[in-house]
Chains A and B, each alone.
Chain A
Amino acid sequence: MKHTRLLTCAVAGAIALALPVGVMAADFPSRGLEFVAGYTPGGGHDIMLRTMAKIIQEGKIVAVPITVVNKPGGAGAVSLGYLNGHKGDGHFLMASTSSFVTTPLTSNIGLNYKNFTPIARLGIDPELLLVNAQSNLKSLKDIAAAGKVLNVGGTGKGGIEQIVTVLFAKALGKKLNYIPFQSDGEVVTALLSNHVDFIVSNPGSAGEFIKTKQFVALAISTETRSQTLPDVPTFKEQGYDITLSLFRGVVAAGDIGAAEKKYLAEMVRKLSETDEWKKSYLEKNRVEPAFLGPDEYAAFLADMNEVYRTSLTELGIIK
């Protein structure tokens, strides 16, 4: 049974790819769309695109078939190269998260966000400042008043967690000792076992520990309070101007026609308004809905690029 299903998928994919290629803006799309994931199957990009493809096809938002292809490697660099190779062709849509901005900054790959056409931002992953419930630190004030240099855990060096920490340290006017861990899971473990004083992490892995009252969230990095975590005050309302979140969006190849861009933007907008999307993607993955259309997303990407470029330079990671 399973085999036949896979076989059908493969055959459908083959047919989709074999359809005649001829890009005319008037009859776009002239063949199946291809969703490009820059990471392996089962990763965040892959799951997002597969959920999108499923909802778009089941909801008949577009008539043509959609295939998801994985172009993993080089922290997204391989997929950037792949999409760039299809310049001017609107049949490709690629997932874009922070690596879309940071990989071109930290590695010399000859491409950056400007080489692509932003289509939409679909959501954001806010950052939480979390302490262990048994900790003496009960509020941001306690952190400000702490007599020693505090250890802060986060995922990776030069990532959003560190940038939030650096901004926070600047606002406090004191030193915070940031320790990079390899994954969100390790960060959570470090706080569970009190190896660090507090962590900056997204709600994905840490959220359940707030429910069990093992962790307390002291601040969230969104503009206004989150709907899913209404009790958590924002940095802003506590007097620290930190609004910075990870983003999840989609981009198309560079130099595509205006009609194609409009078509893709419309498709993604319709998708983002379905209940199915909210239920089976945003809620499950604890992503905050934060839709931006093509132009706003382009402006947002330019902003993010500046934030990362400044921070990475300050941290001595790039020159």
Chain B
Amino acid sequence: MKMSEIILLAGLTVFSLILLGSSLEMPYSAEETFGPGFLPLNLSVALLILVGITVLRVVLAARRARQHASPAEAEGTNLAPPAAGRTGVLLAAMGTVGIGILAMRYVGVLPALAVLLTVISWRFAGHSPVRSARVSAITVLAIYGIFKLWLGIPLV
């Protein structure tokens, strides 16, 4: 199992555990039918079971593979080709977007977006800084024109 799938399943586990905990505080049944806690409680338990099954399957498959295959081959599967070094780039891109959104709160949506877009196209799409800044400026101006001036949406 790859790291990213482990993260996804772990995230789902935490998510359903939180909902499970909070749905226990709500009535499970109502007068004639089920209450607000019924669906989230059962769904989160079912999700936890399915995540468990998925993990169990992978673990069992790995064990079986180790038993059947020669040690060298097992070693080989573990050392499957790394994700070509792009994972770090991707994580950085996700982080950059997050920082950008955080900054929107303090300097306003559009200024933060302008900087964010420049960084994205410079660092992650491989354009020169000048070109990145120029294209980002055009994009943000177009967005300002359409959303703010034309449609009157309060982009601060």
Direct contact of A and B (CB under 8 A): yes
- Asked if B152 lies at the interface with its beta carbon under 8 angstroms from chain A, I say yes
Our pick among A3, A10, A69, A70 for the contact of B148 (Cβ within 8 Å) is: A10
- Asked if B154 lies at the interface with its beta carbon under 8 angstroms from chain A, I say yes
CA distance A3 to B148 in the complex (A): 12
| B33 to A: closest C-beta gap in Å | 11
Our pick among A6, A69, A316 for the contact of B150 (Cβ within 8 Å) is: A6
- Asked if A229 lies at the interface with its beta carbon under 8 angstroms from chain B, I say no
Q: Are B27 and A10 in contact (CB under 8 A)?
A: no
- Asked if A7 lies at the interface with its beta carbon under 8 angstroms from chain B, I say yes
Q: Please name all residues of chain A whose beta carbon is closer than 8 Å to the beta carbon of B149 when the two chains form the complex.
A: 6-7, 10
CA distance A70 to B152 in the complex (A): 11
| B16 to A: closest C-beta gap in Å | 22
Q: Are B154 and A69 in contact (CB under 8 A)?
A: yes
Q: Are A316 and B152 in contact (CB under 8 A)?
A: no
CA distance A7 to B149 in the complex (A): 6
Our pick among B27, B152, B154 for the contact of A6 (Cβ within 8 Å) is: B152
CA distance A215 to B152 in the complex (A): 42
- Evaluate whether A316 and B27 lie within 8 angstroms (CB atoms) in the complex, with A6-B149, A10-B148, A10-B149 already known: yes
Q: Please name all residues of chain A whose beta carbon is closer than 8 Å to the beta carbon of B27 when the two chains form the complex.
A: 316
Nearest CB to that of A71 among chain B residues?
B154
| B8 to A: closest C-beta gap in Å | 29
Per-position binary interface string of chain A over residues 113-143, scored 1 when its CB falls under 8 Å from any chain B CB and 0 otherwise: 0000000000000000000000000000000
- Asked if A63 lies at the interface with its beta carbon under 8 angstroms from chain B, I say no
- Asked if A290 lies at the interface with its beta carbon under 8 angstroms from chain B, I say no
- Asked if A171 lies at the interface with its beta carbon under 8 angstroms from chain B, I say no
Q: Please name all residues of chain A whose beta carbon is closer than 8 Å to the beta carbon of B150 when the two chains form the complex.
A: 3, 6
- Asked if A9 lies at the interface with its beta carbon under 8 angstroms from chain B, I say yes
Q: Are A9 and B154 in contact (CB under 8 A)?
A: no
Nearest CB to that of B35 among chain A residues?
A316
| A78 to B: closest C-beta gap in Å | 13
| B27 to A: closest C-beta gap in Å | 7
Per-position binary interface string of chain A over residues 59-90, scored 1 when its CB falls under 8 Å from any chain B CB and 0 otherwise: 00000000001100000000000000000000
Q: Please name all residues of chain A whose beta carbon is closer than 8 Å to the beta carbon of B148 when the two chains form the complex.
A: 10
Interface residues of B in 97-156 (CB under 8 A from A): 148-152, 154
Q: Please name all residues of chain A whose beta carbon is closer than 8 Å to the beta carbon of B151 when the two chains form the complex.
A: 6
Interface residues of A in 1-37 (CB under 8 A from B): 3, 6-7, 9-10
CA distance A70 to B154 in the complex (A): 9
Q: Please name all residues of chain B whose beta carbon is closer than 8 Å to the beta carbon of A3 when the two chains form the complex.
A: 150
Q: Please name all residues of chain B whose beta carbon is closer than 8 Å to the beta carbon of A7 when the two chains form the complex.
A: 149
Q: Please name all residues of chain B whose beta carbon is closer than 8 Å to the beta carbon of A6 when the two chains form the complex.
A: 149-152
CA distance A69 to B153 in the complex (A): 10
CA distance A69 to B150 in the complex (A): 16
CA distance A6 to B151 in the complex (A): 8
Nearest CB to that of B27 among chain A residues?
A316
CA distance A316 to B36 in the complex (A): 12
CA distance A204 to B27 in the complex (A): 33
| B150 to A: closest C-beta gap in Å | 6
Nearest CB to that of B156 among chain A residues?
A17
CA distance A316 to B154 in the complex (A): 40
Q: Please name all residues of chain B whose beta carbon is closer than 8 Å to the beta carbon of A70 when the two chains form the complex.
A: 154
CA distance A69 to B73 in the complex (A): 65
Q: What 10 new A-B contacts, CB under 8 Å, besides A6-B149, A6-B150, A6-B151?
A: A3-B150, A6-B152, A7-B149, A9-B152, A10-B148, A10-B149, A10-B152, A69-B154, A70-B154, A316-B27
Interface pairs (8), CB distance under 8 Å: A6-B149, A7-B149, A9-B152, A10-B148, A10-B149, A10-B152, A70-B154, A316-B27
The 9 A-B residue pairs with the shortest CB-CB distance in the complex, in nearest-first order: A10-B149, A10-B152, A6-B152, A7-B149, A69-B154, A6-B150, A3-B150, A9-B152, A316-B27
